[in-house]
Structure formats: C-alpha cells, structure tokens
C-alpha cells in the first residue's frame, strides 16, 4: 500500500493524512476483492524496516491499525472475510496483539476472501523463521538434513496452507519488491502501477487484473 507519504506531500499535508486516506482505500479495496470473488489477498501494511521511521509516524500507523481492528470486531458479521495476520508480532503492543487474536478467532469460519494483513512483516525474516523451525526439527531428530525439501519450507512460512500469489501489484511507481513474499513470489506475475495508494480505486484493480489475464504463465515450461 505504497505512496501514502507522497500523496500527502503533494497536498502539503502531514504524512499521517496520507496514511489516513490509505487506510480508507484499504477498506474499500478489501471489500471490492471480496465482492468480485478473489479468494486470497495479502496487504503489506507495515514492514520489518518501517520501524526506522520517526516514532510519531510509526505511532500513527499503529493507531490506524488498532482502529481498524476495533471496528472489524464490531463489524465482522457484515463481511464474509476471514482475517489473518502474517509477520513477527513480538514487538507489537499486547493490546494490538489481543485484538488481532480476537479478529482471527471471530472470522475463522468465514468462507469468502481470506485477507492476510502483513504487519511487522519481512520476507527474509519469514524465511529465517522457517529455517529456525527446520533447525529445531533436525536438532530434535524429527528431520534429517538430507531430506529437507522446498515443501518443508513452504509448510513453515507464515502463509502455510495458502496458495502462492498469482499476481503481486505494487502501486506508487516504484519498481521493487521491498522484501514482500520472497518465497511465495517465485512465479507470481508483477504489475507495477504509477498511482499512489490513497488514489487507488476498484477500477485500478480491474486494470491490473486485465493486465494479468493477458499474461502467458509458463512456470519455467514452454
């Protein structure tokens, strides 16, 4: 969900205002994804590197996240969305972690969109987390080093059990992956769009999906 800061700067507003609008866009786009039948959506809300921002900005993003969680707990009956979180939650406040557990528990039987919110997420940290889990299994004799497969890693990443993404969409005119879903994106199709996240509309998602539909996916074959 990139470009909140630039969107605010263009309007001579504080960066916080960009995140406020970005959070509204997030709500609209998740609802739209549910409506058009997308089964899995992962949004990158906060990376393991985003702690380097000024404390006031980090606090404002956490506040928006908390507001969204509180609202989703009272609103959850309206949407058929299953909410999950991916990332390392240890540095998050106990209050936010408690709300996250409640949101996961309340929505676990929803059958529509599965929404993953990546919070304190980093693709490299996710792979390191899987490596630690494998190392423990080896140390305790449950797994032999020679038998470690790609499947063993896939089963230990945060999105275990969910399909790899077909499409990864990055708005804001930047052309990089920024540590997002590194393991899962081996054969994902990328669409880069020159639009700042607060301006992103359902029609922009449609454009990206049309672009995706024109791609010829070969997964290394012919």
Q: What is the 3-state secondary structure (H, E, C) of 85-150?
A: EECCCCCCCHHHHHHHHHHHHHHCCCCCCEEEEEEEECHHHHHHHHHHHHHHHHHCCCCCHHHCCH
User: What's the closest the beta carbon of residue 164 comes to ligand FPP, in angstroms?
Assistant: 22
Whichever of 27 and 132 has its CB closer to ligand FPP, that residue is: 27
- Is 194 a known active-site residue? no
Query: If we measure between CA atoms, which residue out of 204, 172, 177, 191 comes closest to residue 28?
Result: 204
* 50 touches ligand FPP (CB under 6 A): yes
Which among 22-30, 74-82, 103-111, 214-222 is the span making contact with ligand FPP, rule CB under 6 A? 22-30
User: What's the closest the beta carbon of residue 197 comes to ligand FPP, in angstroms?
Assistant: 6
* 154 touches ligand FPP (CB under 6 A): no
The helix (H) or strand (E) run that includes residue 195 is none
Q: How far apart are CA 134 and CA 137, in angstroms?
A: 5
Q: How far apart are CA 198 and CA 220, in angstroms?
A: 36
* 1 touches ligand FPP (CB under 6 A): yes
| Residues paired with residue 83 on neighbouring β-strands, in sequence order | 115
* 79 touches ligand FPP (CB under 6 A): no
Q: What is the x/- site pattern for ligand FPP, positions 113-152, by CB under 6 A? A: ----x-----------------------------------
Whichever of 58 and 143 has its CB closer to ligand FPP, that residue is: 58
Phi then psi for residue 76, to 5 deg, are -65, -20
Whichever of 23 and 134 has its CB closer to ligand FPP, that residue is: 23
* 68 touches ligand FPP (CB under 6 A): yes
Residue of 45, 81, 114, 115 that binds ligand FPP (CB under 6 A):
45
- Is 50 a known active-site residue? yes
Instruction: Give the CA-trace dihedral at 193, 161, 134, 176, to 10 degrees.
Output: 0
For 207, which DSSP code?
Answer: H
Q: Which amino acids are annotated catalytic? A: 2, 50
Q: Which residues here bind ligand FPP, judged by CB under 6 A?
A: 1-6, 19, 22-23, 26, 45-46, 50, 61, 64-65, 68, 117
């Amino acid at each position: 969900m990139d470009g909140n800061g630039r969107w605010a700067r263009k309007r001579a507003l504080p960066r916080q205002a960009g995140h406020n609008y970005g959070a509204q866009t997030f709500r609209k786009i998740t609802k739209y994804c549910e409506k058009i039948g997308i089964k899995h959506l992962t949004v990158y809300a906060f990376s393991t590197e985003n702690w380097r921002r000024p404390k006031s900005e980090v606090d404002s993003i956490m506040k928006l996240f908390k507001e969204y969680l509180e609202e989703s707990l009272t609103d959850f009956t309206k949407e058929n969305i299953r909410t999950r979180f991916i990332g390392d939650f240890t540095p998050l406040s106990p209050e936010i972690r408690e709300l996250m557990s409640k949101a996961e528990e309340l929505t676990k039987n929803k059958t529509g969109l599965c929404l993953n919110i990546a919070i304190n997420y980093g693709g490299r940290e996710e792979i390191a987390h899987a490596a630690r889990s494998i190392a423990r299994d080896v140390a305790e004799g449950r797994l032999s080093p020679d038998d470690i497969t790609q499947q063993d890693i896939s089963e230990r990443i945060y999105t275990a059990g969910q399909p790899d993404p077909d499409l990864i969409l990055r708005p804001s005119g930047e052309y990089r992956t920024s540590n997002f879903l590194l393991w899962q994106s081996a054969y994902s199709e990328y669409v880069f769009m020159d639009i700042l996240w607060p301006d992103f509309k359902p029609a922009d998602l449609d454009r990206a999906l049309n672009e995706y539909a024109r791609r010829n996916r070969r997964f290394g074959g012919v």
